[in-house]
Amino acid sequence: MSEITTTNCKNCGSTFTDLYCGNCGQPRNIDRFTLKGIIKEGFQHLISMDTSFLNTLKNLTIRPGNMVREYLFGKQKPFLKPLQFYFIMLAFFFLFSEWSHVNPMEIGNKISREIHSPSQNKSEIQLGIKIKAILNNNSKLIFSVMAFMQALSMIIVYRKKGWSFVEYIVFTLYTFGYRYIFSVLLLIGMSLFGDLKNNYAIFFITSLLSFTYSTFSIVQFMEGDKFKDIIIAILSLVLSLIFYVIFTILLSFIIVFTNKYFHQMTF
């Protein structure tokens, strides 16, 4: 019978006698790095992450609200972490945007150009272009702010449900991450059909799909089953859009104020 020896964990310094550290899970025996070991470990992590990602994606497709509830109640191992899933989907969206050479905010710019007022002077037009450029360059942040706005609207509308703001953030990270699929469909449509009228139709269809999915997710998360629950879910989404519009207006005012301040400083 082999003698059990006590050792110190090379990761956290805790004393243990088992094969793995009881404090951090670090293995007792750490082999020297080899090419075979690195490849094997990489494949193991890739397969594990791939399984979790597909399982998360499948559940968010057919039962998004129930999946998030289960995650918040402790069933977390089968799913990717909310922030991890969100950033994977965000990266996929923007990588596809770069590949398709379509700006994800271009449809809004086209609409604003079409309704452009002829009474605007040159400085106003240039300032508008500058604001759009700043929004476009920070589109990742702008898109992420929308998830925060939805969590804010949900805690206001569903304040009696007992969920915390952070738990609503978890919900929005999962569902907003999934909604990037609809944004990718928008990019595909815009890259295939360059005509502005076709872009309007594609924008409307993908927005409707995204809005319907969001409504379904919220109703299921709140365990609603009545028409009233659908109306309340839609109300929370509309409120989040209002918050988002207010945010972009405030951001535009800050840009205008900063632009005027630095313009005055140069004279």
* Boundaries of every domain in the chain: 1-30, 81-265
Q: pLDDT (tens digit, 9 = 90+) per residue, 55-66?
A: 999 999 999 999
For the segment 69-93, the average pLDDT, to the nearest whole number, is: 91
- The 3-state DSSP composition of the chain as helix, strand, coil percent (nearest 5) reads 70, 0, 25
**Higher model confidence: residue 3 or residue 78?**
78
Of 37-46, 79-88, 110-119, which one has max mean pLDDT?
79-88
Terminal alpha carbon distance of the chain: 87
HSE on the CB side for 74, CA within 13 Å? 0
Q: pLDDT (tens digit, 9 = 90+) per residue, 64-75?
A: 999 999 999 999
Q: What is the rounded CA–CA span in Å between residue 267 and residue 262?
A: 9
151: closest CA among 161, 138, 165?
Answer: 165
Please give the mean pLDDT across all residues of the chain: 78
DSSP-based three-state secondary structure for 108: helix
